[in-house]
């Protein structure tokens, strides 16, 4: 796809084959070309000739024009790659991290790790995230936001109804698993918190609410995966026949805040390359309102705030020392995300990767936090 054109596209000429793209000179490499002497003064004046230059000439590879480059860049993306993007496997860390942090908090408090309950909750959480992804594609398809999004599930399968049916099935199965586990643990607080988290997901994207179109997606994401889900999983994985009601301490609350911050950062950065498309369909995400330059500034200060909060929680001994030290090991990743967004926020083809880099930060930070709680035990 690096073929290049011989001429200006504005003149309507394009090469017929790739061999037309190379100029084959009649001289050999190293020959010296000089300007021929001008014998006529009129010609000399008209050409306004400057001092002649010696040029060393070899095979000439002409550069493509900008429009041609764009045509070649818009190559057909392999379907396997589109399917991988549609699955969004790295994004499922948002199901794993709140659950794992909640489990490690419960282990710190009780010394228990309920493996079967953990497995049931992780499967249910994955189904809930599948519902979020599928229904988001369906409703963005309805509004036209995903009209040109090749990796949209609706565009890939060619069936809005099929994608919606799969989304609803995932929701029903996921909620059933969460409800069964909550009843098994006999913890009403956990049921209410999980219901609140799912409600945040519904009003985020589903009609008639679609609060993400009003720029409220990030606050809803923060609440759902931070205070609601993380706290609920802590309660479910720490409840046993000996201890039905775990204390809701400042440690639990502060941990859920950190998880909510890193999760919301993923959502925020996922819109950098969609600003024009979102604006066209009336989706006023924070990046549409702020612009990418100020959005990059927000990312930088959000990451600084994240580690400032971590330092404060460690200094006041709300978090155990191992948690603070382990989480600070992820600081280079946070700085890398910040500098990457600041450098490439105007380049759609590069800023597209920002959300995946935020996923790495989210996953590493969550794992570090969880390990810190286990070590502190």
Pairing of strands 55-56, 22-23: unpaired
- Here the tokens at position 98 are 């709140």
- Which pTM does this prediction carry? 0.76
State yes or no: pLDDT of 375 exceeds 60. yes
The CA–CA distances, whole Å, from 132 to 136, 141, 204, 293 equal 6, 14, 9, 29
Q: What string of H, E and C letters represents the secondary structure of the chain?
A: CCCCCCCCHHHCCCCCCHHHHEECCCCCCCCEECCCCCCCHHHHHHHCCCCCCCEECCCEECCCCHHHHHHHHCCCCCHHHHHHHHHCHHHHHHHHHHHHHHHHHHHHHHCCCCHHHHHHHHHHHHHHHHHHHHHHHHHHHHHCCCCCCCCCHHHHHCCHHHHHHHHHHHHHHHHHHHHHHHHHHCCHHHHHHHHHHHHHHHHHHCCCCCHHHHCCHHHHHHHHHHHHHHHHHHHHHHCCCCCCCCCCCHHHHHHHHHHHHHHHHHHHHCCHHHHHHHHHCCCCCHHHHHCHHHHHHHHHHHHHHHHHHHHHHHHCCCCCHHHHHHHHCCHHHHHHHHHHHHHHCCCHHHHCCHHHHHHHHHHHHHHHHHHHHHHHC
Is residue 321's pLDDT more than 50?
Answer: yes
How much is the mean pLDDT over the chain? 81
Tell me the pLDDT tens digit for each residue of 133-142. Answer: 898 888 888 8
Residue-wise pLDDT for 186-214, tens only, equals 888 999 999 999 999 999 988 889 898 99
How many other β-carbons are positioned within 10 Å of the β-carbon of residue 48?
Answer: 6
Over residues 114-123, the mean pLDDT reads 94
The reported pLDDT for the residue numbered 159 is: 83
Per residue in 279-317, pLDDT (tens digit) is: 888 889 999 999 999 999 999 999 999 999 999 999 999
């Amino acid at each position: 796809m690096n073929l290049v054109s011989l001429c200006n596209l504005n003149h309507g000429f394009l090469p017929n084959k790739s061999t037309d793209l190379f100029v084959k000179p009649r001289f050999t490499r190293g020959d010296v070309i000089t300007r021929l002497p001008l014998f006529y003064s009129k010609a000399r004046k008209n050409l306004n000739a400057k001092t002649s230059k010696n040029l060393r000439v070899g095979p000439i590879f002409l550069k493509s024009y900008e429009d041609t480059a764009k045509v070649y860049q818009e190559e057909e993306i392999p379907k396997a790659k589109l399917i991988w993007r549609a699955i969004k496997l790295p994004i499922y860390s948002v199901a794993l991290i709140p659950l794992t942090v909640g489990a490690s908090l419960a282990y710190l408090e009780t010394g228990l790790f309920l493996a079967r309950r953990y497995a049931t909750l992780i499967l249910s959480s994955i189904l809930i995230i599948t519902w979020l992804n599928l229904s988001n594609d369906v409703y963005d398809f309805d509004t036209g936001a995903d009209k040109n999004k090749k990796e949209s599930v609706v565009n890939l399968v060619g069936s809005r109804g099929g994608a919606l049916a799969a989304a609803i099935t995932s929701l029903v199965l996921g909620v059933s698993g969460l409800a069964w586990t909550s009843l098994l643990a006999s913890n009403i607080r956990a049921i209410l918190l999980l219901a609140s988290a799912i409600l945040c997901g519904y009003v985020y994207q589903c009609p008639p609410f679609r609060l993400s179109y009003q720029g409220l997606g990030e606050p809803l994401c923060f609440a759902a995966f931070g205070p609601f889900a993380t706290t609920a999983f802590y309660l479910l994985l720490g409840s046993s026949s000996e201890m039905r009601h775990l204390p809701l301490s400042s440690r639990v609350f502060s941990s859920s805040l950190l998880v909510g911050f890193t999760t919301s950062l993923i959502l925020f950065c996922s819109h950098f390359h969609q600003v024009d498309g979102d604006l066209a369909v009336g989706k006023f995400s924070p990046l549409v309102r702020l612009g990418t330059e100020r959005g990059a500034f927000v990312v930088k200060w959000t990451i600084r705030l994240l580690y400032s909060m971590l330092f404060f929680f460690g200094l006041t001994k709300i978090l155990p020392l191992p948690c603070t030290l382990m989480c600070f090991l992820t600081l280079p990743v946070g700085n890398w995300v910040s500098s990457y967004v600041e450098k490439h926020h105007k380049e759609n083809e590069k800023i597209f990767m920002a959300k995946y880099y935020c996923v790495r930060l989210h996953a590493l930070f969550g794992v570090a936090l969880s390990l810190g709680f286990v070590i502190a035990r």
